[in-house]
Structures are given as C-alpha cells and as structure tokens.
Structure 1
Amino acid sequence: MTHTFGYVYKFVYRIRRPGLDVEDVKMGTQMLIRSIQMSNLADDYWRLHSKRQITSSSPLSSLSPFIDSIGVMRVGGRLQNSSLDYNAQHPVILPRKHPVTRAIILDLHRKNLHSGPRALLASMRLQFWPIGGRKTVSAATSKCIICFRAKPQLAQHLMADLPKDRVNATSTFMVTGLDFCGPFCYKTGVRSKMPVKTYVCVFICYATKAIHLELVQDLSTQAFFGALKRFILTRGKPARIWSDNATNFVGAKNELAELRSLFLSGPHIRAIEEFCLEDSIEWQNPADLEVLTPAHFLGTFPLVLYSEPDVTNLNFNRLDRWQRIAYLQQIFWSRWREEYLTLLQQRSKWRTSKPALQVNDVVLVQNDNLPPLKWPLARVMELVPGSDGVARVAVIRTATATTRRAVRKLYVLPKQDLVESPGLPTGGECSVMPQPN
C-alpha cells in the first residue's frame, strides 16, 4: 500500500525519476493519511484548517491537534520540550475504524514479533496515534491467527443439566466414574536405578462424591483390570461405570470374558458396553437376584439390596434395631435430596452461550502432549446436539481421518475480515511517461 501511494505521489507531482526511493514512499504515505483524515475526521480537520477551535465533544479535544506544513493532522500534546523526536512528540492521528489504521497496526504487530496490545500501542505511539488507544489495537490484533494459536480460547457453551445418575439416591459407588491421574515418579530401593513412573486410578461415586484411589503401575489394560478388581473387592460391584475414551479403557472391550469374571455372580450377568456421545464409555451390569457368594463378605454391602419399607413416619422409639438402621439411612437420603441436591442448581461456569460452533468452521484440536502451536487443524463436518439442543460433540475432519471430538477440546480460529476495495472511477486516459535513457 505504501509503495502504491509512492507511485501516486510521483504521478501527482510529475516526478520523472525512475523507481522509488525512501522519500517517495514517505510522502506517498503522508498523502494517503491526509486523504483519510480529510474524509473520516472531516469536521475536526476543516475546523483546524480554518483556524477554528474543535468542539469539546470531539475525541481529539484532549490532544490539542494541529495541521502541519504538508496538511497532516498531528497531536499537539505536552511533550514539545522532551528529548523525543518530532514524530514521537507529535504523532500522526489515525481514525478509529479504518482499513488503513488496521493495516498499520498489523504491520507493526508483525514487526514487533506479535507483541501484546499494551506493548504494541506504546511502540505505535512513537509515530502514530490511533483514536481509541488500546481498544483499537486489541480489536485489530484479536484475529491474528499466530497469536490465537499461541494462546487459544475455548468456544463456550451452556453448562448441561446434571445426568440422571448424579441426582438420584443410590448406594455408595453403585454408579462410579473413573479416570487416571499422574504420572508420579517414585524411587525403588536400588540407589542407581532411575525413578519409575506410576499412576493413580480415581474412582468417584456419582451420588455422594466419595473417592477411592488405586495405585497403577502403567497405562495398560491389564493394569486397569487389576485396579478394577481391587476396587470391586473393596467397595462392592457397581451397577454402572463411566469413563472417558482412553486407550486402556477401550482395550477392555476386547477382553469381555475377563471382565465378566470380575463380577463373581454367575453366567447370567451380562456386560454391556455403550459408547456415549461425549467421548465416554458406559459399562452396564443388570442387577438380578443372586445366591450368597464370598463377594458379599468382601464388599462393604450386599451386591443386591432389598428395598426396605418407609419407616420415617413411625415413632423412632417403637422401632427395633434393624428398623432404626433403615430409619437413619432413609433420613440421610431424604436430607441428601433436600439439602445437597439444591446446592447443585446453580451453574458455576459456562453460564451463557457464546457464538456456537458451526459447520465448516476451522478449529484447533487440543492435544495435551503437544504445545498449542503444534495442535492439528480440522474442519467441522457435523454437529451432534444433546437432549437440550446444545451441540457438545462435533464430527471433524483432520488431514488424516474423520473422527468425533468433544466441543470443549475444539478451538475455533478467528474469522478474518474481508475488506472490499472501493470502486475506482472509470473514464479518462492515463499516458505512461517515458523513462529517461
């Protein structure tokens, strides 16, 4: 743009010197800025041009602007006695929303190695003074792809309602969620041996938020089965287990025969796997009446509970010992429904929906093993809405495959504004000046 107006400057003033030099580019840029000021800041420009005072409501009233010898409006300011050069003492004023202002900001943004808005504004004010200051600079740099990839921002959607398993009373660990955390390093007894990585399998009760921890040597499927066995022998057999789509959990579907042996309840128990929409796996086990087995004594409660009659409306002093235990359990779950569940009404985060993900959006796919600048790009092919109509899962196409990912792992790249060139006048004739030999 500056080189183009360098040629415009030579054409207007009929400079026959071949090529461009620094002075041509400088004067052409000033010609461009002067025309922008005359059209976008017309009221203030012509008031100053006619030696009148600008209005107090003008955004330039605090800058004491003036027009220099070549017709460019500059900041008057209070730094005339400083050691700064002339351009820093009296920077050129730029309008708030103009393609040229945005182009100048982005050019300095790249030259300053994608610095932040505050540092960029300080560097820019050594030559230019954009109206709006930091807001104008932030609006121009907010759609920089490189800056976004270095610090991606998640597309926010409304927090979903709690699932059925979270809001209904069940026995402890009857419905369980599990995940791995780590790695943690520990040193063996051998002094010269390197520390060994280990992990912790976390089991969380959906109803009571009770936590059970199991130490796991690695991330293999066999190690997970060992942790699951120890959990079942300690806490009892859960009716449903929820997990994410990790490799060691998915590998379990190929070893269902070994999984059936964990439940110790005969061949009539079936293990059912269902892949859920949000990249999670649900392990279901229908509860049937069963005979007494050693598993009843290894757990903290029977694998199948008998439904006790409601005794909360009876006089506590008339109850026998077992009825009193049932009374205390029923009172506990009654208070759980009335006092605990009401605390879960509010949404702690994701309270409002930002612009939703759309088909054909280009996104960054989060990869915890890579820095953000190396996250792969993908295009959204399809959105999978939930029961409330909010899409929390998307079908994406990467450079190698098509897969499903949770929306919380996708970062939408900012859309670039397309600036249309104004229409050029038609008619007339422009002759090419002959170049000197």
Structure 2
Amino acid sequence: MVCRRHKARPAEQQMAPLPAIRLSTPLRAFARVSVDYGGPFETVQGRGKQRRKRYVCLFTCLLSRAVHLEMAYALDANSFLNAFSRMVNRRGRPFEVISDNGGNFVSADRQLREDVYNDKVKKTMASQRIKWTFNPPLAPHFGGVHEIMIKAAKKALRRILGDAQVTDEELVTALSGAEALLNSRPLTYQSANPSDPGPLTPNHFLHGRSEGQLVPAAQNDDGRSVQRRWRHVQMLVEHFWRRWLREWVPTLNQRKKWLNVRRDLAVGDVVLLIDPATPRGQWRLARIIEVYPGPDGHVRVVKLQAGNQQYKRPISRVCPLEC
C-alpha cells in the first residue's frame, strides 16, 4: 500500500468539448466575459514614498477575445464590484460571467472567506440579472481562457513599466496601453497574398478597425450621407462576425492534449487528495461521494469526503487508488 500511494498518478480524462458559452448569441463584444486577477503591483503614494499594493482586474470577452483592464485597490468583494461596475459602464452589461473560486485569498480561514466572497458576488449579480459561474477550486486549467490573457497582460506591463516606481495614475495609464496592445493582437493567420484581408483582431469588434481608432467620420453633414455611413458601419460589423465564424471558430475545437478517453471516477472510489503543501507520502485518503458529469457525460469534477471535511476538486487533483 505504501508503494501504491507513492506510484499513484492523478486522474485524467479526455479534454472537454468547446463550451457552449463560447459560441452563444448575441454576437457582441463583452456579452459573455471571464474574470481574473493579476499582480500585485506596488505604487508610490505621495512624497513620503509610501507604497501600496494594487492589482489588475482583467475582463476578457469569450467570443471576440477582447480585453478590458481595470485597477483594483484590494482583493475584497467591494473593490472587485467597483471594478466590475466601471467595466459595465464602459463595455455594457454582460449576460454571463465566469471566474475562479476566490483563489486570491490565502489565509487560515480561506474556505470561510471564499464562501462569503462568492455569496456576496452572486447576490449582487443576481440583482442585475447576470449569471455568474465559479470554476472548481484549485482548477486553473478550467479558466485557461483568462489565465493566458493574465500572462500576456503581465508581460506587457513589465515591458511598459520595467523597474520604474509609478503612482496610481501612471499605473492606470500603463494599463490602458497594455489593453490597447492586447486588443490589437491578431486572432487569425496573416495570408501571404497581399490582396487578402488582414487578420482579425479584437479591435475589429470594438472599433471597426485593427488600429483601435473609430471608423472615419462622414465627409459632410448631409443626412443621407450619415445614414449611408451608419449602414456601412453595420455591414462592417456583420462582415467581421462572419469572418470570425469562418476563420476563428474552427480553430477553437482542437484537442492538443488529453486525447484519450479514460474510465470515469465513480461514487465510492478511494483516492488520494493532492496537497502541494505536504509531502506525497502524507496526502490524505478520501472517498468520492458525488460526481459532476459534463455535457459529454464524462466526469471531470468530484466531491470528496476526507475525515469530517468535504472538498470539491477537479480530477487532476486526486489520485485513484482502488476503483
């Protein structure tokens, strides 16, 4: 049994299909978003050189992959709700939001603080008719759609700021520059044929062109010209979404790992609960008491009973022993 504990490997399952939320209507930017935090970044306060920690709250559109960056002054629920309100005022109210499970909190009463944080956020969003979904705890691969953008945003901020000591105002300016840089990245491949259109970027869905500027204004004040210009802009938006459906969407449904179908974990299976903070030989034994099948019928999230405590974990955080 000691050898089996040391040789046990984490459970695996075939990569899930593309979630329906990534293709849901209406087709507009920031109708469905994913949220994550990055940082901290230290800013200088006043002449006394007092320092404060600031965080980056990233909102990424699940359809157009556009990015909106807000500065958060803390990691509590009130600070996040203020950042969320600023995003809604500029980008419009989303219908659905996905985020992690309060992994920003690291303390002895982490589980209690997560529950309070999640309950407050859900209650606030329910009053605004926004559907909020939390990913399972300790499952960063469930939120790859925002984790990759947080990585890109941090890289852009490091290039912009370097080792400079900045104030809150300068950090907000740097965030706007990083946002413009991320929204000008290409989504589709650049064709070698010079007559082909350029690659799609998130700015095409936000501003109508890749440079991040608005489409040119009408040349005169004739009412008919303004109406024709409005129709032209609408045709451009429809054209970009048709290209998005034809060129971008087919590239999303490719499995690059976790290709094989494995046996699904079931209720009653004995597993090891992976804890990176303890040695492998001291991982706790647990029993599966509930499973959560996905849309394709495969189990990727389970509920465990370890002693008197219960945990909800992805299967990548458990090692099956006896099935």
**TM-score where L is the length of structure 2:** 0.58
Q: Secondary structure at the match of 1:241?
A: strand
Quickly say closer, same or farther: Cα 1:237–1:366, change in 2 above 3 A: farther
Quickly say closer, same or farther: Cα 1:398–1:192, change in 2 above 3 A: farther
Q: Quote the residue 1:253 is aligned against.
A: 119
Give the counterpart letter for 2:18 in structure 1: L
CA contact (8 A) 2:95 2:130 kept: no
**TM-score where L is the length of structure 1:** 0.44
Q: Distance in 2 between matches of 1:230 and 1:376?
A: 43
2:39 pairs with 1:145? no
Q: Secondary structure at the match of 1:177?
A: strand
Quickly say closer, same or farther: Cα 1:236–1:352, change in 2 above 3 A: same
Q: Quote the residue 2:316 is aligned against.
A: 408
Equivalent runs, 1:309-320 vs 2, <5 Å? 320=228
Shift of 1:376: 4.2
Give the counterpart letter for 2:230 in structure 1: W
Deviations 1:272-315 (A, max 9, x none): 656678569xxxxxxxxxxxxxxxxxxx89xxxxxxxxxxxxxx
Q: Distance in 2 between matches of 1:404 and 1:166?
A: 25
Q: Secondary structure at the match of 2:60?
A: strand
Q: Quote the residue 1:158 is aligned against.
A: 14
Q: Secondary structure at the match of 2:44?
A: coil
Shift of 1:195: 5.8
CA contact (8 A) 2:99 2:133 kept: no
Query: Greater shift after overlay, 400-409 or 334-343?
Result: 400-409
Q: Quote the residue 1:351 is aligned against.
A: 259
Cα-Cα RMSD: 3.8
Quickly say closer, same or farther: Cα 1:249–1:402, change in 2 above 3 A: closer
Give the counterpart letter for 1:341 in structure 2: V
Q: Distance in 1 between matches of 2:12 and 2:122?
A: 38
Q: Distance in 1 between matches of 2:55 and 2:284?
A: 27
Query: For this pair of structures, how many residues does the alignment match?
Result: 226
Shift of 1:403: 3.8
2:40 pairs with 1:180? no
Question: Which of 66, 90, 115 does residue 210 from structure 1 map onto?
Answer: 66
Q: Quote the residue 1:228 is aligned against.
A: 84
2:241 pairs with 1:333? yes
Give the counterpart letter for 2:298 in structure 1: V
2:129 pairs with 1:271? yes
Q: Distance in 2 between matches of 1:174 and 1:220?
A: 25
Give the counterpart letter for 1:383 in structure 2: V
Give the counterpart letter for 1:145 in structure 2: R
Give the counterpart letter for 1:328 in structure 2: L
Q: Quote the residue 1:432 is aligned against.
A: none
Quickly say closer, same or farther: Cα 1:361–1:257, change in 2 above 3 A: closer
Q: Secondary structure at the match of 2:65?
A: coil
Q: Quote the residue 1:239 is aligned against.
A: 95
CA contact (8 A) 1:360 1:379 kept: yes
Give the counterpart letter for 1:397 in structure 2: Q
Give the counterpart letter for 2:129 in structure 1: A
CA contact (8 A) 1:385 1:393 kept: yes
Deviations 1:5-52 (A, max 9, x none): xxxxxxxxxxxxxxxxxxxxxxxxxxxxxxxxxxxxxxxxxxxxxxxx
Equivalent runs, 1:10-409 vs 2, <5 Å? 143-146=3-6, 153-168=9-24, 170-182=27-39, 184-186=40-42, 188-189=44-45, 196-246=52-102, 251=117, 253-254=119-120, 270-271=128-129, 320-367=228-275, 370-371=277-278, 373=280, 375-409=283-317
Q: Secondary structure at the match of 1:162?
A: coil
Give the counterpart letter for 1:271 in structure 2: R
Give the counterpart letter for 1:186 in structure 2: E
Deviations 1:157-199 (A, max 9, x none): 11112122212452111100112234x2525358998865443
CA contact (8 A) 1:221 1:249 kept: no
Q: Distance in 2 between matches of 1:177 and 1:372?
A: 34
CA contact (8 A) 1:396 1:404 kept: yes
CA contact (8 A) 1:157 1:350 kept: yes
Quickly say closer, same or farther: Cα 1:181–1:379, change in 2 above 3 A: farther
Q: Can you give the 5+ residue segments of structure 1 that lack an aligned partner in the other structure?
A: 1-105, 107-140, 261-268, 281-299, 302-318, 417-437
Greater C-alpha Rg: 1
Q: Which has the higher contact order (CA 8 A, sep 6+)?
A: 2
Q: Secondary structure at the match of 1:356?
A: coil
Shift of 1:336: 0.7
Q: Secondary structure at the match of 1:320?
A: helix
Deviations 1:314-355 (A, max 9, x none): xxxxx9211111111111111111111111231122111234
